[in-house]
Amino acid sequence: MGEFKVHRVRFFDYMPSAIRTMAFNSRSERLALARADGAVELFNFADNYFQDKVIPGREGRDTEALCWVGRRLFSAGLNGEITEYDLEKLRPRYTVAAFGGAIWTMSSNSQGSLLAVGCEDGTVKIFEVLEETIRHQRNLARQKGRIVSLSWHPSGTLIAAGMMDMIQIFDAETGQATHRLLVEKRLRASKSVEVVVWSVVFLSDHTIVSGDSAGKVQMWDGSTGTLIRTYLVSKWDVLALAVSQDERSLVAGTSEGTVIQFQFLSTVDQQPEEWIRTRTFKNHSHDVRALAHTETAVVSGGMDVQLVVRPLLDKVERNTQEAALRKIAFPHRNLVCCAKKAGLLLFQFPEHLEVWRLGESDGHGRPGDRLPVKRKPEKLIELKRKGEDHICCSALSPCGGWIAYSTVSGVRLYRFQHNNNIRISKVSRLPKVLCSVQQLCFSSDSSKLFASTSHSSLIVVGLNQSECKYLNTLKPKSDSRQPVHLLAASDDGRWLAAANTDCEIHVYNLEKMKIHCSVPIHSSCPTAIAIHPVTSSLVAVHADQQIFEYSLELKEYTEWSRKLQKQGLHSLWLERDTPVTHITFNPRNPAHIVLHDAFMFCIIDQSLPLPEAKAVLYNQMTLRSLPESDRPRHSHAFKICKSFQHLMCVSLLDDHSLVAVERPLQDIMCQLPPPVRQKKFAT
Amino acid sequence: MKGQRSEGKVDCSENMVEHANVRVVHRGGSKINFREPVISSDSRFLLCPSGESVKVFSTSTEECIRDLRGHTDLVTGVLIRPSNHLQVYSSSLDGTVRLWDFTDGILIRTCVIGQPIYSMYTSAHHKGILFIVISMGADRRSELFQLVAVHLPQSGEQLVEAREVSAVLSYVDSNPATISFGKGGEYIASATGFQLEVFYFRKQKSYRFFLKGNNKKGAKNTFTCVACHPHENCIATGHEDGKIRLWRNFTDQKEYTYSTLHWHHSAVSSLRFTPEGTNLLSGGVESVLVQWRYNQDNQRDFLPRLGAAITHITVSPDGSLFCTSHSDNKITVIQSCVKVSAVIQGLVKGRSIRTDLMVDPCSKALVLNGKPGHLQFYSLQRDKLLYNLDIVQQEYIHELGLEQMEVVKAAFSPAGNWLATVEERKQSATEVELNLKLWEFDQQTQSFVLNTTISAPHEAQITAMCFCQAADSQTTMLVSASKEGHFKAWQLEPAHTEDEGPSWSCGFVGAYHGLVPGCCCFSADGSLLAVGFQEVVTVWSPVSWELLTTLSQPPGIIRNLCFGRLSCSKYLLGTISNNMLCCWNLLTCSLEWSTSMDTSLLLADPLSENMAAFCSQAGCTDLFVFKPSEPRPLFSQKAVCSGKVTRAVFAPREEMLESCEESSQWLNHSQLYFFNQNMDLLSFTTKAEEDRLMASSKQLMIDDSVAMTPFYLLLGKHRQQEGNPEADSSLPVDRAALPQGTVAMKELLQTPAHVLPSTSFLCSMFVQSLLISITDSREEHKHSDEELESEKEEEDSEGEMDSSILRPELGPVAAAPPLSKAQIRELRRVKKLDHSWCTGLLDS
């Protein structure tokens, strides 16, 4: 496998924020998820749950509701505004104020023509969805108390609104309330404590399902306004409800971290079906704030920052990859940038950037030993972002002399001196074209900065000691409007590769400043790309875990890549559930490709035979136990190391040491607020 | 194990040829919690399999009303016949299914299957079909079972053979709780291991659902029991880890679903839906009956403190009565899940009997370990637990691996007014916590009251303990021998101060060359004490504490010592480790005779000079009954039972048997009870005794809870007058002496109306019968008088059991001038005196 001196970095205090709400678009199979810091993440469920787009948050934008209307995504929050997002430029397109105080909920009718928002002042406001914008149409009859939850009847004629202590049913045509359903308080609760109807669902058979702060899930007859069933499911609140497309399964999320499933079953033959409580899933330690019911799975998220995809075993084939439980805790993109020559690390937080210098050690030891640290790692600077928008991307040049970051509103570039006295100075006059940037990348000699903008085009900016100047704009031949999410420059400075969320990878020749070629499109989105420094071939790993190597000189897949495709990857490799997020190469051995996902890093040795389907994939431990002479017979190209977990970044420095940035999940869990008190058996 | 049992039986029957009139029987104390009981449709009777018979209990009075005898092996199931709620089926390991009329106790039909039946099911929707569980394949010992459907032949014959047998499910569990019929008999659900199988009869199709065996969280998913909802498609399953799963939509192999209820902390042993399906009952080791509201998962009711782990739950057909069987051989009848209305307690059987078997001289009850920390008093005559005496008087905490205080030794004084108990807790291998407690019989409360507690009476475990035998001696004395190398004599000392009564204290500490005493025994008159110190028998005088003599003739460690009685009181018998039974003559201080046999138990009959020795040989136990004076057995039986006999006792009979056959004469005075390895209580019975029992069970019996109708008032009065003499002295002679009028009335009232002759014909007969009865009225009057008297006596005399012995003898005397009360008492006292010395004189 090769031996490295490893910098085991655990000082990246990355803390994802809590999941607030989510919306699933069953047509495009995309899940939109809003976090407490206002960021919106998009997951493509059709493509291995890959998080392909992230819209950065903004201070003061507390998203409380998300809503898909066709392919358009709307959000509303406590700041009282409705925002539509531009999913190509990854920024808000426009914002409309509702003038009703904080917005707690938003729902669109099934035709996609109207949006209803529930406001703090007790009004339900109906907005018309127009081609380019939304327009306020009218208000429904105003109620006392805030509107906490809303649900349209699929026909679009009725709206159910969950409020304090009651549920109101409105006629959407006239705007008048037709029914008032009073929700009971918890037994032995004081009079002053109100019951909050956190969630309502209006089913097509006029059944209304409500979840409230008294821990009840109640089924109401919406046409007569009577209570049908009450299920007391929690000692605490029921916070979220979600129903499947066919309305045969319903899930409720509680403060105890449980998700409870109800199914529409007939218990007696030839009798009408009824809702019956069936399974209980406990995958969260804290509140389940957001729920979505896809065709095959229950998706839940909440305070404990993880997104959990729990497949329903009656809907999927057993013992397949689809039937496995997935927990998505880490972003599927790089938040760490490593300056290979200088030995610096740049950590990206939503609010600030940190630059650390790695520690040093001159000790030597056997594999597995812990070396004494001569110089401790040191935080050089902490750079606060300017403005209200959160940082969406950042880059550190390989020499460590430049730091660049971008927000929705603009790009900032800094000159950074770190040798003796630390000094940072902002480069003032940036080219005007650098305004809305999705990805940033420095060339290996730190003389150029590459930035991606709209329509997948790239801007090349030349850097020297004093100034930076706009050099060129590179445009792909295709007319894709999707944003670039990966950039990779070759070490020799000749090539630049860019991947966008349309699964395209374009390679540009930097000497001629024009497009060189496009890699044949694979159906799955690339999650990491890199250009080999010696052979000038592009290595790309996709969300479906496939690996391709494309020779840039010959403009075709290399022999190794063809062999790999012909033989197929090992089944265990394909079953991993986190994407490869970073690829790097071993300068000493050009046959080595180093790549990593959240739970392992792997060195692919192209000189060794590929693993057979029946071979043991994780064979490093068994190899170690074998005598030296037997090892070559058993070794194969995939050398996988699992000794580092929750990896945020693995990179090789120029001094041939390996940097592994870990963020243990336990540390994240420690920082969460305490969960609701639950009685534990035998305590 | 089952195979061994049947082998043992075969041997017994061979022996029966030898001694045609003495055989081994199960006599009382059998398990009533082996299989779940069944409640009759009017909720008045509870039927439960008990050993080889089916017992019918009254749910209101707890009394055993009837014993349905006929099976020759363990009964494995009782079920009400779906087409006739007055008939029950019972299945047994003897390979037969019997149909009974349980109100009259009549065996209607016997259906021979030919294979041991492990459990049985019926369904109202499968007429004429019985579902039974038998072992798979020809090998009867295989651990694999199958469920088969038996079409019962529709012939009127007494003995029929079932030939139409069709397999339904294979690889089922033999535990009846794991199979249940679903809604309307449409399907049957069976659980084994990690698999639930649902079989639809109409489609002839089965669906299988699996649970993961090894859960990462340590959940044990093994199925333990199954119950089907009566009206809805819902199956409830209990699991090893205490979860209850409610399965729904199980007609779909893929889209099935279940919800989970969790309250129990360890395995759910029984589940039952109420007949309306509104509630689900569950029970387990927590000894709490949990009532779940169906479809309202969070609402549940508890009935806690039921005493012991619940093994079965039964619900009456109308849902008004629940009934739980418990691991301590108890059935609790519960009214509408709130009130325990009756407790039917059988003989409590722990894993082993640490105390010896004893007979309480007062109540003539069998005394042994019962519930943890208790002694139980079990009436052998009535086959009923009288009461539990709490010895340890500490809260019992159910926890695995926790060492509890246990009663390890107990002894009664000959008069029955003192009880000594030893309790012990083993904290570690060396440290033992000991308590010696002495209990005095309180005449007022008719129970034992703690008199003295001696903590740490010895430093090491107590090996033997006995009271001085002499009934008339002034001082009561207790001797205890311990592993520490001493034996101590405890004596009742008068009170030191006014306000406290007499208490016990140590009077003498004896030792012999630092050897460990293993057993001790008083002679019948209390003048000698024999203590076995390893290889040496020492004989002491309890009056002067002088070592009289030592006996160590055949070398070997003494295991058991026993003095002869009555005419043989000069002999001392002992068993020695190297398989020797020795008899020493105390007059000559020499070995009288010895014989080589591996004696595991040696005991003396307190009412005769007979001694019984159980010898284990080749996996079986043989019994020898002999007199110490001659080394020739009076009676011997090979292979009494398989395995070792652990405990045995001679229980005095209430009335002496008049048997003249030589081989059964030893059973005249007392009856020999013993426990085999499986903790079954067995006894010996003679042919004459059995015949008498059969005769008495044939008598018509009417339940005491008959509705209060005018007929009952008429009939009930008569029964009260006649019932008691009939019950007490079940001699057929007494029955013949009944007044004629009552017979005629009974005939009139008990014959079904449709077979009665016309009323005009009856009327004259009825009136005539009344007229004739005048002549008998005086005698009848006398009978009732006498009865009243004896009842009164029962209240104040301690030997109330004697009254029934006395009565038949009194009969002829009463014809002569009647005796006064004082005279009767005097007569009784004289009768009670030990006249054995007379026989001793005559012999010498």
Distance in angstroms (rounded) separating the CA atoms of residues A188 and B325: 37
For residue B126, tell me if it sits in a domain. yes
Tell me the pLDDT band of B807, cut-offs 50, 70 and 90.
Answer: very low
> B296–A232: do the CB atoms touch at under 8 Å?
yes
> B233–A231: do the CB atoms touch at under 8 Å?
no
Structure tokens at A216: 């009840």
Per-residue burial over A60-97, b if 16 or more Cβ lie within 10 Å, else e, is ebbbbbbbbbeebbbbbbebbbbbbbbbbbbbbbeebe
Those of residues 226-245 in B touching chain A at CB distance below 8 A are 229, 231-234
Q: Find which of A231, A276, A318 to mutate to test the B interface (most B CBs within 10 Å of its CB).
A: A276
Distance in angstroms (rounded) separating the CA atoms of residues B273 and B280: 4
For residues A131-147, average pLDDT: 88
User: Nearest chain A Cα to B248, which residue?
Assistant: A267
Reported as a single tens digit per residue, the pLDDT across B695-734 is 665 554 444 445 556 666 666 555 555 544 444 444 444 3
User: Nearest chain A Cα to B254, which residue?
Assistant: A314
CA distance B256 to chain A (A): 7
How many A-B residue pairs are in contact by the CB < 8 A criterion?
48
Q: For chain A, say whether B265 makes contact (Cβ under 8 Å).
A: yes
Reported as a single tens digit per residue, the pLDDT across B24-33 is 777 777 888 8
Reported as a single tens digit per residue, the pLDDT across A630-678 is 777 778 888 888 888 888 989 888 888 889 999 998 988 888 888 887 7
For residue B254, tell me if it sits in a domain. yes
Q: Among B249, B260, B297, select the one facing A265 at the smallest CB separation.
A: B249
CA distance A267 to chain B (A): 5
> Exposed, middle or buried: residue A418 (CB in 10 Å: 0-12, 13-18, 19+)?
buried
Q: For chain A, say whether B258 makes contact (Cβ under 8 Å).
A: yes
Element (DSSP H or E) covering residue A567: helix A559-567
> A279–B183: do the CB atoms touch at under 8 Å?
no
Helices marked H in B302-393 — which ranges? none
Q: Among A267, A277, A315, select the one facing B297 at the smallest CB separation.
A: A277
Q: Among A233, A279, A682, select the one facing B257 at the smallest CB separation.
A: A279
Tell me the pLDDT band of A104, cut-offs 50, 70 and 90.
Answer: very high
Distance in angstroms (rounded) separating the CA atoms of residues A468 and A461: 7
Indicate the pTM of the whole model. 0.73
Q: Among B229, B248, B254, select the one facing A265 at the smallest CB separation.
A: B248
Least confident of B544-558, B573-587, B658-672: B658-672
Give the count of domains, chain B: 1
Q: Among B232, B259, B265, select the one facing A279 at the smallest CB separation.
A: B259
Distance in angstroms (rounded) separating the CA atoms of residues B242 and B245: 10
For residue B326, tell me if it sits in a domain. yes
Q: Find which of B247, B255, B261 to mutate to test the A interface (most A CBs within 10 Å of its CB).
A: B255
> A278–B295: do the CB atoms touch at under 8 Å?
no
> A276–B295: do the CB atoms touch at under 8 Å?
yes
Sorted by sequence, the CB contacts under 8 Å of residue A295 that are 6+ apart come out as: A26, A244, A245, A315
Asked whether the predicted pLDDT for residue B379 surpasses 60, the reply is: yes
Asked whether the predicted pLDDT for residue B71 surpasses 60, the reply is: yes
Beta bridge partners of B562: B573
Per-residue burial over A151-161, b if 16 or more Cβ lie within 10 Å, else e, is bbbeebebbbb
Among residues A492, A389, A495, which one has the least CA distance to residue A445? A492
Which sign does the torsion angle of CA B156, B160, B165, B170 carry?
positive
Distance in angstroms (rounded) separating the CA atoms of residues B537 and B529: 10
Least confident of A111-125, B172-186, B386-400, B619-633: B386-400
Those of residues 790-829 in B touching chain A at CB distance below 8 A are none
Q: For chain A, say whether B263 makes contact (Cβ under 8 Å).
A: no
For residue B613, tell me if it sits in a domain. no
Which sign does the torsion angle of CA A637, A641, A646, A651 carry?
negative
Q: Find which of A254, A283, A296, A314 to mutate to test the B interface (most B CBs within 10 Å of its CB).
A: A314
Per-residue burial over A349-368, b if 16 or more Cβ lie within 10 Å, else e, is bbeebbbbbbbbbeeeeeee
Of B533 and B576, more confident:
B533
Cβ distance B30 to B50 under 8 Å?
A: yes
Measure CA A203 to chain center.
30
Over its C-alpha atoms, chain B yields an Rg (Å, rounded) of 30
CA distance B231 to chain A (A): 7
For residue B740, tell me if it sits in a domain. no
Among residues A139, A150, A136, A200, which one has the least CA distance to residue A175? A139
Residues in A touching B207 (Cβ below 8 Å): none
Reported as a single tens digit per residue, the pLDDT across B84-111 is 888 999 999 888 999 999 888 888 889 8
For residue B205, tell me if it sits in a domain. yes
> Exposed, middle or buried: residue B193 (CB in 10 Å: 0-12, 13-18, 19+)?
middle
Strand ranges in B391-502 using DSSP code E only, listed in sequence order: 406-412, 418-426, 432-442, 447-455, 462-467, 477-482, 487-493
CATH of residue B187's domain is 2.130.10.10
Among residues B537, B625, B540, which one has the least CA distance to residue B584? B537
Helices marked H in B458-613 — which ranges? none
User: Nearest chain B Cα to A682, which residue?
Assistant: B265
- Distances, alpha carbon A201 to alpha carbons A139, A149, A257, in Å: 21, 9, 20
Asked whether the predicted pLDDT for residue A84 surpasses 90, the reply is: yes
Q: For chain B, say whether A276 makes contact (Cβ under 8 Å).
A: yes
Q: Find which of B248, B265, B278, B293 to mutate to test the A interface (most A CBs within 10 Å of its CB).
A: B248
For residues A237-256, average pLDDT: 92
Element (DSSP H or E) covering residue B734: helix B732-736
Those of residues 307-336 in B touching chain A at CB distance below 8 A are none
The pLDDT assigned to B185 comes to 86
Element (DSSP H or E) covering residue B599: strand B599-604
For residues A527-536, average pLDDT: 90
Task: Supply the mean pLDDT for chain A.
Answer: 88
The total of other beta-carbon atoms located within 10 Å of residue A459's CB is 20
Q: What is the dihedral of CA A584, A587, A589, A595, to 10 degrees?
A: -10
> B259–A276: do the CB atoms touch at under 8 Å?
yes
The total of other beta-carbon atoms located within 10 Å of residue A580's CB is 23
Q: For chain A, say whether B249 makes contact (Cβ under 8 Å).
A: yes
> B260–A279: do the CB atoms touch at under 8 Å?
yes
For residues B300-327, average pLDDT: 89
For chain A, what is the total number of helices (H) and then of strands (E)? 5, 55
Range of the domain at B142: 26-345
- Long-range contact pairs involving A203-207 (C-beta distance under 8 Å, separation at least 24): A203/A154, A203/A243, A203/A247, A204/A153, A204/A154, A204/A155, A204/A247, A205/A247, A206/A153, A207/A275
Reported as a single tens digit per residue, the pLDDT across B565-611 is 878 888 888 877 777 888 888 888 888 888 888 888 888 888 888 88
Q: Among B234, B249, B298, select the one facing A232 at the smallest CB separation.
A: B298
Cβ distance B153 to B160 under 8 Å?
A: yes
The total of other beta-carbon atoms located within 10 Å of residue A36's CB is 17
Cβ distance A232 to B298 under 8 Å?
A: yes
> B233–A269: do the CB atoms touch at under 8 Å?
yes
Per-residue burial over A632-662, b if 16 or more Cβ lie within 10 Å, else e, is eeebbbbbbbeebebbbbbbbbeeebbbbbb
- Distances, alpha carbon B123 to alpha carbons A10, B130, B229, in Å: 67, 8, 14
Reported as a single tens digit per residue, the pLDDT across A370-396 is 888 888 888 888 989 888 889 989 999
Structure tokens at A527: 């999650």
Distance in angstroms (rounded) separating the CA atoms of residues B365 and A101: 85
For residue B743, tell me if it sits in a domain. no
For residue B292, tell me if it sits in a domain. yes
Residues in A touching B232 (Cβ below 8 Å): 267-268
Residues in B touching A233 (Cβ below 8 Å): 298
